[in-house]
Chain A
Amino acid sequence: MVVPLEHVIALSMILFSIGVLGVLFRRNAITIFMSIELMLNAVNLALVGFSRYYNSVDGQVFVFLVMTLAAAEVAVGLAIIIALYRNRQTVNIDEINLMKN
């Protein structure tokens, strides 16, 4: 194996922070969804790193479950976005304030 664990975790942290920035900055609901995927992948990377360095398969089982969750979440989320677009003709989250009025 190649690099120390800290470098893997640092990469995971950087990707997670970029994902958080995407969620906070973007107004397009689909891009926000992509940023959430990025954050899930950063966590997966950390889990795989720990699994490798502590010589245990448990982390990879968790990655497996996170991938299942991500697939389900994306399917439901995109269905919600399509339903919203049908009603409002926009995916800009500043204009989607159904709960407010």
Chain B
Amino acid sequence: MFTSIFFYFLASIAIASAIFVVLNRNAVYSAIALVLCFFSLAVIYLLLEAYVIAVLEVFIYAGAIMVLFLFVIMLLNLGLEDAFPYFRHLQRALSLFMVGLFFVGIFLIMFNEQGILHQPGEKFSAGDIYALGEALFSKYLLPFEVASLLLLVALIGTVYLAKRKI
């Protein structure tokens, strides 16, 4: 019961900070709100018993990626973005309409059965590092190696793009 309330509390924090990210005019505040969103998602992963993923979320997203974002924001020295004329154009109103349609569509697909709420089994053993590592190095060995290749390509590409002169 308590953990259930905790889940909804974290979910509301995540949604509120995500809205803040989208609506704020200052990019630095957006980045900080996104860090808050990532932390609440990490705790939700803990509640879902995905311990390794929760730790990785904090390390990679809240640590590495957001630090990269903040570095770039401060490097570029952006001011406040102009106040957005959101709904002045037909295009913006149309995009809002399309997102609403998308949302309702998935909602109808997901919740069309008559009130069947999927409850999980009691025993869950797939969240620890042992199970994840075993799957990564046996069943998913090829995608794992391809991911390492992808990281190498991204490394070389980043150095090439950000250099002033080659």
Listed in ascending order, the chain A residues whose CB lies under 8 Å from chain B are 1-11, 13-15, 17-22, 24-28, 30-31, 33-35, 37-38, 41, 44-45, 48-49, 51-53, 55-58, 60-61, 63-65, 67-76, 78-83, 85-86, 91-92
B residues adjacent to A (C-beta < 8 A): 3-4, 6-8, 11, 14-15, 18-19, 21-22, 27, 30-31, 34, 37-38, 41, 44-45, 47-50, 52-53, 56-57, 60-61, 64-65, 68-69, 72-73, 75-76, 78, 81-82, 84, 86, 92, 95-96, 99, 102-103, 106-107, 110-111, 117-121, 123-124, 126-127, 131-132, 135-136, 139-140, 143-144, 147, 150-151, 153-155, 157-158, 161-162, 164
Main secondary structure of the interface of A (DSSP, over half): helix
Q: How far is the CB of B46 from chain A (nearest CB, A)?
A: 10
- Considering the complex, give the chain B residue whose CB is closest to the CB of A82: B162
**Known contacts A7-B7, A22-B21, A83-B161; 5 further A-B pairs (Cβ under 8 A):** A31-B81, A41-B37, A48-B45, A56-B126, A68-B150
